[in-house]
Amino acid sequence: MTMKLEERYIILKVTDVERHLHESDRLELKHIGQKIDRARDIEGRGDFSAIVIEKDWPEYEAVLQLLSKRVDGIED
C-alpha cells in the first residue's frame, strides 16, 4: 500500500520562477522567503532543508516505496 501524500510544502522550481515571474515578483518572493527564514531562526528551528524528487524522475517510485515502508513501520 502506498501512503497518502500530503500537501505540506510549497515548492517552486527556480527555473520556473525565473522563466515565468516578472522581476518584481521574484524580488517579492525573495523577501517573503527571507521573512520566513528569519522567523524560523527566531523560533530556533534553523534552516529548512529538503530533498525534492520530481515525479518524472526514475528514482521517484523507489523513493516513494522506501518512505511508505518507513511510515508504515515496515522493516526490510
Per residue in 7-65, pLDDT tens?
999 999 999 999 999 999 999 999 999 999 999 999 999 999 999 999 999 999 999 99
Query: Which pLDDT score is estimated for 65?
Result: 92
What is the per-residue pLDDT for 74? 76
pLDDT grade for 76, boundaries at 50, 70 and 90: low
> Which of helix, strand or coil describes residue 31?
helix
Spans of all domains in the chain: 14-72
Q: How many CA atoms lie within 13 A of 75 on its CB side?
A: 0
Q: Is the pLDDT of residue 1 over 70?
A: no
User: At which residue does the C-alpha cell 529538503 appear?
Assistant: 50
The torsion angles phi and psi of 61, rounded to 5 degrees, stand at -65, -40
